[in-house]
Amino acid sequence: MKPFIDAGEIWGYLNTTPATKERVREVIAKSLDKNRLTLEETAVLINATDPELIEEIKQGARRLKEKVYGQRIVLFAPLYVGNLCTNNCAYCGFKASNKVLKRVTLGEEDLVAQVKALEDTGQKRLILVFGEHPKYDAKFIADSVRTVYSVKSGPGEIRRVNINAAPMDIDDFRIIKDSKIGTYQIFQETYHEDTYAKVHMGGQKRNYEWRLTALDRAQEAGIDDVGIGALFGLYDWRFEVMGLVRHTNHFEAVYNVGPHTISFPRIQYASQLNIDQTHMVSDAEFTRLVAILRLAVPYTGLILTARESASIRDEIMQFGVSQIDGGTNIELGGYSKKKDNEDQDIDLEQFQINDNRTLNEIMDELISKKYIPSFCTACYRLGRTGEHFMEFSVPGFIKRYCQPNALMTLVEYLEDYAPAETKTKGYQLVQEKLDQIEDATFRKTLVEKIEELKNGKRDLYF
């Protein structure tokens, strides 16, 4: 395969694309018209440094989110399965050279205990995370996924298991596909090859191209639901945004469907962190880059994790984030320990997280702010892949499927897990949203389904 990331090309765009007021407005309008942006157009937004234009970009992203996705926010939780690792990534607490890190791999019993604890808070969607180690081969990962799906606690069940794991060959991707994973997620970390070589100091991960082409092999194996990402802080954020857009374009050109999600973790404090601070991304730049990504790839889900503080998450969510984690605990075995998340043991974890709220605290806040928290897994269960694209391009899809399904998963949560106060607030929101449905026949069908849920039925969706 021809390498699709060309640093010269990306810098060419960044160095020569002017960001006049007219051009910036044209590009925002193109995006609001539901068109993905080209690399040149993305560079226009990146090069806009006038505060007034930056504000227009942020407002554009906010409008696009409201227009396309409405007020839904999908919730999930990460579950770390094992922190053995043969690589030496400068930024990561799991790096092989870190001798103070306590190495743990969850056995089946431990894994089941974590899943039960997660289900007991109301979680329905997990992402399993693994270090890169011969022990975590495709079979091990597939077995972990199957175990997670098999665990039921009361009304609780996990309905979608995504994974974040090292790149594999096509045969191994087939093995994990058979376990019915949702999304396969892998971050390139940096699209800049020289920086990549500097920060990946040992192990298989040193191979830039093997990682860059991982999702093409996944595609070949039939895994068409994939997530990409860059670790912000390793290299110039403007270059990484262009890299993410180029990766997306590559996917669309070759497979006719873009990645399902884009993640944009910022480097956080970690055990034995060893990187230079030159490219650290400020909060203002971070907000800008999320708004630019929203406009550049209008129908790709954007994930913002608990690496960021509650206040930053609240601020940035409005610019187009579609998924957040809640009740996050990244200590190996941490969910079943029921200890206060405040005191993270950094020598047992990959990095510092900054949003320690419980799932219910987050649910409660989202409801208060009129977001609709969603645990919906309908598209995945019904084989409707490319759901973000459908949300975007099929008229009425959100009204007919996404919003009602989000409300039904919210009702399940309110019935099974919410304390009284959240329950009252939650049902007020559900009622408000029901009142806004114009089609009376459809509203009646949805009200009936919600009644069924209240009477104990579960897992209903359109």
- Which residues are at the interface with ligand SAM (CB under 6 A)? 91-92, 129, 131-132, 164-166, 186-187, 189, 231, 265, 267-268, 270, 307, 350-351
Instruction: Choose from ligand SAM, ligand SF4, none: what does 270 bind? Cβ within 5-8 Å by kind.
Output: ligand SAM
Q: Which does 95 bind (CB under 5 to 8 A by kind): ligand SAM, ligand SF4, none?
A: ligand SF4
Q: Please state, in angstroms and rounded to a whole number, the distance separating the CA atoms of residues 57 and 25.
A: 8
Identify the helix (H) or strand (E) that includes residue 153. Answer: strand 152-153
- Tokens encoding 183: 């999304």
Closest separation between CB of residue 165 and ligand SAM, Å? 6
Going by C-alpha positions, the residue among 185, 192, 205 that lies closest to residue 96 is 205
3-state helix, strand, coil in the chain (%, to 5): 50, 10, 40
Q: By the criterion CB under 6 A, which residues form the site for ligand SF4?
A: 85, 87, 89, 92, 94-95, 131-132, 205
Rounded CA-CA distance 149/143 in Å is 10
d(CA 419, CA 232): 37
267 binds, among ligand SAM, ligand SF4, none (CB under 5 to 8 A by kind): ligand SAM
- Least Å distance, CB 95 to ligand SF4, is 4
**Cβ closest to ligand SAM, residue 11 vs residue 210:** 210
CA dihedral 401, 407, 412, 413 (to 10 degrees): 130
Residue number, 335 or 413, with CB nearest to ligand SAM: 335
Least separation in angstroms between residue 84's CB and ligand SF4 is 9
Q: In this complex, which beta carbon is closest to ligand SAM, that of residue 346 or of residue 363?
A: 346
Give whichever of 132 and 224 is closer to ligand SF4, judged by the CB atom.
132
Work out whether the CA dihedral 238, 241, 246, 249 comes out positive or negative.
negative
Closer Cβ to ligand SAM, 231 or 363, answer by number: 231
| Rounded least distance, CB 250 to ligand SAM, Å | 19
- Residue closer to ligand SAM, measured from CB, 129 or 359: 129
User: DSSP class of residue 136?
Assistant: S
CB of 396 to ligand SF4, least distance (A): 41
83 or 336: whose CB is closer to ligand SF4? 83
User: Rounded distance, CA 12 to CA 6, Å?
Assistant: 10
Query: Which listed option, ligand SF4, ligand SAM, none, makes contact with residue 231 (CB within 5 to 8 Å by class)?
Result: ligand SAM
With contact defined as beta carbons under 8 Å apart, do 245 and 258 qualify? no
- DSSP for residue 224: -
Which amino acid, one-letter code, is at 237? W
> Could you tell me the CA-to-CA distances from 117 to 77, 181, 344, 457 in Å, in that order?
12, 21, 18, 22
Q: CB of 208: closest distance to ligand SAM in angstroms?
A: 13
Residues 6+ apart with CB under 8 A from 70: 372, 398, 402, 403
Give the residue among 361, 353, 397 at the shortest CA–CA distance from 376: 397
Q: How far is the CB of 92 from ligand SF4 (least distance, A)?
A: 3
Q: By beta-carbon distance, which residue lies closest to ligand SAM?
A: 351
* Residue ranges with strand state E in 301-450: 301-304, 323-325, 372-374
329 interface partner picked from ligand SF4, ligand SAM, none, CB below 5 to 8 A per type: none
Helix extents (H) in 221-268: 237-255
Q: Which of ligand SAM, ligand SF4, none does residue 351 bind (CB under 5 to 8 Å by kind)?
A: ligand SAM
Q: 76 with 128: CB under 8 angstroms?
A: no
Q: CB of 162: closest distance to ligand SAM in angstroms?
A: 12
Q: How far is the CB of 53 from ligand SAM (least distance, A)?
A: 30
**CA atoms of 8 and 293, how far apart (whole Å):** 21
In this complex, which beta carbon is closest to ligand SAM, that of residue 258 or of residue 265? Answer: 265
The option from ligand SF4, ligand SAM, none interacting with 187 (CB < 5 to 8 A, set by class) reads: ligand SAM
CB of 127 to ligand SAM, least distance (A): 9
Which of 37, 92 has the CB closer to ligand SF4? 92
> DSSP class of residue 70?
T
| Residue closer to ligand SAM, measured from CB, 190 or 248 | 190
Question: Could you give the CA distance from residue 437 to residue 275 in angstroms, rounded to a whole number?
Answer: 52
